[in-house]
Structure formats: C-alpha cells, structure tokens
Amino acid sequence: MSVRNARTIWESVALRRFLLTSWPWRGLSYVLSTPVVSALVGVPVAALCLPWLYLVFRFLGTEPIALGEAVLVGPAGLLLVVAGGPLVALPVARVERLRLRLVHADPVPWPHSSTRGGGWTGWLRRQYTEPATWRKLAYLVVVTLAALPSAALVLTMMVVVSLVISPLLVTPDRPLALGLGRASTVAETLPYSLLGVALFPVALYLFAGLAGLHATAARALLSGVSDERLRTELVEVSQSRERLVNAFEVERRRIERDLHDGAQQRVVSLILQLGLAKLEMPPDSPGTESVANAHEQAEQLLAELREFIHGIHPQALSDLGLPAALQELADRSATPVTVDCAIPERPSGAVEGAGYFVVAEALSNSSKHSGATEIQVTAKVRRNVLTVEITDNGRGGADAGRGTGLTGLADRAAAIGGTLSLSSPIGGPTTVRAEFPCSPGKQ
C-alpha cells in the first residue's frame, strides 16, 4: 500500500514512510484535542451524575448513608442520566464526526431516521427511541474516559520535547533538572537531547496507536452502520433478487411461447405433410416405408416437444393455479397420489412455479427410486408463507447430494427467499418440505 492509498491512521502506521507523511501529526492533533473535548464534556456529565457523586462523597465520609437515601438518590441519578444524556451526547457526536476526519479519510456515515416530522415532540421521541442515540451516549462515556490516557501521552510528549530543546534552555546561571540528572552547560544537555530525538518517533507512533484505538471505537458507536445501512442493504438485495426472479419468469414465458407458437406448429405441419405423402404414395413404392418411419418419428418428436413445453411451465398452472396443477401432476403419476390444498388466494407466479416444480421433482424421485405405494401432497398458505410437503411410504435413504435434483430446487427456492428440507431415514418415510414467503400477486 502506498502513502496515497492509506485511508486511515491504522493503515498509515504500517508504511515505511509513516514518519514522513502527515499522518503522525494528524494523530498528534487528534490526541491533543481529546482532553479539550473531554474537559468540555466533563462539566455537563458531572452535572448529570451529581446524585451519584453525592453518594460517593457520603460513602467516603464519616457519616453512614441511610438506606432510604441510597434508594432514592441512586435511581434519581440514573433517571437524570437517561433523560439528559442523549441531549448532551448529540452535539458531542457532531464534533467527533469532524475530529475523526483527522485520522480517517472517509466521513462517518450519519444514521438517518426512518421517519420525519412531528415538530419538537417528534424529534425528541425519535432521539429517545433510536438505537443510534444510545450509542452516542455510550461514546460520551468513552470520550470522558479517554482524557486520562490522552493527558498522560501529552505529558510524555512535553517531556520528550523538553529533552530535545534542552540545549536551548540551559544557561550557566540556570541549570536544568532533566529527570535523570541536572545539566548546567550545553555539553551536559546533549545526551538528553539525543535521547529526546530518539524517543520522538516512538512518541509519534504511540500517539498514532492511541488515535487509532479511539477512532475505531468512535466510528463503531457513531456510524450506525450495523442498523440503518444493514437494513437498507438487505432491502436492496431483496429487491434485486426479486427483479432477477421476475426477469427469469418473463424469459421463461417467452421461450415457452416461442416453442409453442413456432417450433411446435412447424412440427405439426411436418406431420401433416408426411401423412399426406404417405397416403399419396403407392404401397409398393420403395420410399413408402421411409416416409412412414419419418411420420412416426415426427409424431414422437411432437409428443416429446409437448412434454418439454409442459415441463417449462404447465398450462394448468398458468390458467387455473397451483391446486389444479398439482392435481394434474397427481393424475399423471404412476404411484397413487393424494393432494390436499388450502390456498385461499393465488400467490405470485414465481412462488407458484417454485412450489409446483418441487412437487414435480419429488413425485418423479418417489416413482423412480423409493418403491412407494402411496404419496401424500399437502400445500397450504399460512401467515403469508406457502408450505408444500410431499411424503411417501417408500424405503427412504434419499440424499439430496446424489443428483436427485433437489439441490437445484433448493437453490431455486433460496432465490425467492424460501427454504427446502429433506427427511429420509432408512426404511422411510421420505418427506420433502418447502416454504416460500408469498403475497397475493397477479399472474
């Protein structure tokens, strides 16, 4: 990473040229300003905590604290902090967002409220009900406590700077006390000055580390990313996924229409022409048998094409809905199937299609592999969730990972926010269950 690419003070510390950039001085400025902010914040915080401070002083005094006094004053302090803390934390958060630009190139995201209006009462109600407000209050505690390490580091830097400039301060008439000894001449201060020069870069790294720690906590508490932005991103992902599913549904219907109106009609025309040719040809003609074979193969092709088109999207599902389409599947199944549907209102086309193909795949698997003699299909909508369940009395032991087609159906269900599960113990029964969030929709 180059100096220009560093976006935070943490990233800049890892650079070899860290001391030659502006980041050390930005970290120094951030830490130097922290005690100032803490001092300004300390006054209203102390006022809010007056009941608790009173209890502390009484506890440290000679007179004992009465139980009733503690019971009354303690909750009063908590009530005062809860009532006034958010109002104090709001301007502090605004100032901190400006200060954080010293150690982070990206501005802190501002957590916007989902509602507006209501005047002062609405504003106060939002301030006291939003999670972001209480994170600001938590930061108020952080910035108050940060004054201690910041002040200690500032004093350390003052000592280091004093060592560096000690040759400029010493005079024969005014010796200097330099911690480890006293110096009366410039020559005596030189070792201390060199020590200060060596410690100066170390102090800058310490300032950068403290600034990075403080800034990380501040951004985590003030950004509001974990709530508002996450909800926004989830809504965007959900909407994008719905658009993809709808686009797939439109394209599927276009392919079905093209096959039905185009390829299928041409095959039908070909069958008619071959049939006429077969009738017109003499029975003993050498090409009669070939035309008859071609006619038979064309009829087989038409049957397969119709089955293929039906597999893309059955007409009964489009025209009559899921209950009729499931009953059609049951009628075509080689194994006896009982269908129980409770769907008062049709869901969206994507949900209906997903439920239909889950049942179709499960019935196909049961007929081919399970040895079942009876299959039960249930479809119902409760609390805006379509639940489809297929149970057979076969031998069990089905595994979705062995190419049964259920893995693809699970992916299809996930695309519209649904889930698919398989239960198939050895000896049976086998149950395939799918759930899809749904709402009434036009077909």
pLDDT (tens place) for every residue of the chain, 443 residues total:
444 567 788 888 887 888 888 888 888 989 988 888 888 887 888 787 877 777 777 777 666 666 677 677 777 777 877 777 777 888 888 888 888 888 887 777 655 554 455 566 766 676 677 777 778 888 888 888 888 888 888 888 888 888 888 788 777 677 777 666 677 777 777 888 888 889 899 998 998 889 888 888 888 888 754 444 555 555 555 555 556 556 556 656 666 665 656 666 777 777 777 777 777 777 677 777 777 777 777 777 666 666 555 555 566 777 778 888 888 888 888 888 899 988 888 887 778 888 888 888 888 888 887 788 888 999 998 888 889 999 988 888 777 666 556 676 777 677 777 888 888 888 878 888 888 887 655 44
- Look at strands 176-177 and 419-423 and give their pairing: unpaired
| Residue 254 near residue 296 (C-beta atoms within 8 A) | no
pLDDT of residue 442: 46
pLDDT of residue 63: 67
pLDDT of residue 160: 87
Length of the chain: 443
Bridge partners (DSSP) of residue 423 are 431
CA distance 308 to 300: 12
pLDDT of residue 326: 86
Map residue 377 onto helix, strand or coil: strand
CA distance 424 to 398: 6
| Angle, in degrees to the nearest 10, between helices 288-312 and 264-280 | 160
| Residue 41 near residue 88 (C-beta atoms within 8 A) | yes
Residue with tokens 């017109």: 280
pTM: 0.47
CA distance 382 to 212: 51
- To 5 degrees, how large is the angle CA 309–CA 312–CA 318? 95
